Amino acid sequence: MSRLPLKLAGEVINPGETRLLSIPAARLYTDTPIDLPVEVIHSRKPGPVLLVCAAIHGDEINGIEICRRIVGKRLLRRLSGTLLIVPIVNMFGFIQQSRYLPDRRDLNRCFPGSPRGPLGSRLANLIHTELLSHCTHVIDLHTGAIHRKNLSQIRGDLDDPAALGMAEAFGAPIFMDAKVRDGSLRAAATELGIPVILYEAGEALRFDEPAIKAGVRGIMSVMRHLGMLPARTDQPPRKLVPVKASRSYWLRAERDGIVISKIKLGQRVKEGQVLAYLASPFGGPEKPLKSRSDGIVIAASQIPLVNEGEALFHIAEFTTLRKASDSVEAFQEQFDDQPEPEAFTQPL
């Protein structure tokens, strides 16, 4: 039985066809059109429909580079099913190097949206109706916020066996059971019965090469898990065993001043361990900031200036802390030492 064409945003993509679509999304106040770019690879062979999207927060650019490298993979010629890649969901924020839309709304709190109303609501509705409605699985790519760096990690509803399987297949060192936030793309997909995982790695407005490499490999691994790509025939690299966090919390600054950090992202810490000292720029005694429990630092502020109450370190706790620490160490050894990838396009 021959496979049917895919009808997307008024376009028809035939089996075996690859197309870059530009879906009209909105206009700037200069009357300049803004489109939603979608790379569509519609295989002749049946299979899942996977959406990989990035930059729903416009300053989270790691995922854009992950998408660019995925598109260049020759292995996609052997794809089963359909791959939809949206490297820049929030084009407005990307242009302005901002997390938000021009009206300061968070696009990831606007779903499922409406064809009428504010810009965020209309964009969310476009994504919901033109993309999510076709999907069977979603991988949403994120980073930490501005001046805040995340250790590579997967978040999702791990009570969903399909999402758990994707999380384990991705191969990040840790994964976390995260509640669905109202108005998020993940909430909209969950309402449609679509399993979603979020990949969090790096920080806003920065490329993080190990996080990018891990993201590319993780997505390809999920596609193998879903049967969209053939299994590996070569010897795979050192196997990461992702470990689930039992809970997490943020340590916040207990005074204003300068942060003198004593730990690194991904480091294992003990209860009562001094993670940083808070000091006045004009001298005087330093105040130690101590961990409340054993755990691993999975996110950290990257700026050494702080106001009282600001988040400094995100600590994850584990029932099997040693396994989690070993997983993080294996991840860092594997991806920090890899050579730079070759360009897949011809030089100009």
Residue 128 lies in a domain: yes
Pairing type for strands 17-27 and 243-244 reads unpaired
Residue 348: the pLDDT is 38
Asked whether residue 262 falls in the same domain as residue 208, the answer is no
SS3 at position 217: helix
pLDDT tens for 3-27 read 899 999 999 999 999 999 999 999 8
Query: 169 and 61 share a domain?
Result: yes
Contact 167, 196 (CB under 8 A): no
164 and 41 in a single domain? The answer is yes
Residues 164 and 264 in one domain: no
Whole-number pLDDT of residue 28: 84
pLDDT at 346: 41
DSSP letters spanning 251-315: EE-SSSEEEEE---TT-EE-TT-EEEEEE-TT--PPEEEE-SSSEEEEEEE--SEE-TT-EEEEE
Percent of the chain with pLDDT over 90: 88
Tokens of 132: 């999510």
pLDDT value at position 238? 56
Query: Do 274 and 215 share a domain, yes or no?
Result: no
pLDDT tens per residue across span 43-65: 999 999 999 999 999 999 999 99
Q: Is residue 241 part of a domain?
A: no
| Span 140-144, average pLDDT | 98
Whether residues 310 and 163 share a domain: the answer is no
324 domain-assigned: no
pLDDT value, residue 195: 98
Given a cut of 80, whether residue 134 has pLDDT beyond it is yes
Q: Determine, yes or no, domain membership for 142.
A: yes
Paired with 279 in beta bridges are: 258
Q: Which domain holds residue 305?
A: 247-317
In a domain, 343, yes or no: no
Q: Are residues 149 and 214 in the same domain?
A: yes
Q: Check which CATH number belongs to the domain holding 33 and give it.
A: 3.40.630.10
Q: Are residues 11 and 78 in the same domain?
A: yes
Same domain, residue pair 196 and 273: no
Alpha helices (H) along 72-208: 91-96, 119-130, 161-170, 185-191
What digits encode the pLDDT tens for the residues 206-236?
A: 999 999 999 999 999 999 999 999 998 776 6
Number of residues assigned to the chain: 348
HSE (side-chain half, CA atoms, 13 Å) at 159: 4
**HSE of 263 in the Cβ direction (CA atoms, 13 Å)?**
26
Quote the DSSP letter at residue 106.
-
Q: What is the pLDDT of residues 163-201, one digit of tens each?
A: 999 999 999 999 999 989 999 999 999 999 999 999 999
Instruction: Give the Cα separation of 255 and 274 in Å (integer).
Output: 15
Asked if residue 239 belongs to a domain, the reply is: no
Residue 71 and residue 123 share a domain: yes
Strand partners, 141: 54, 199
**Across residues 25-53, what is the average pLDDT?**
94
The CATH number given to whatever domain includes residue 256 is 2.40.50.100
Q: What is the pLDDT of residue 335?
A: 86
Kindly state whether residues 169 and 261 are assigned to the same domain: no
User: Cis bond leading into 112, ω under 30°?
Assistant: yes
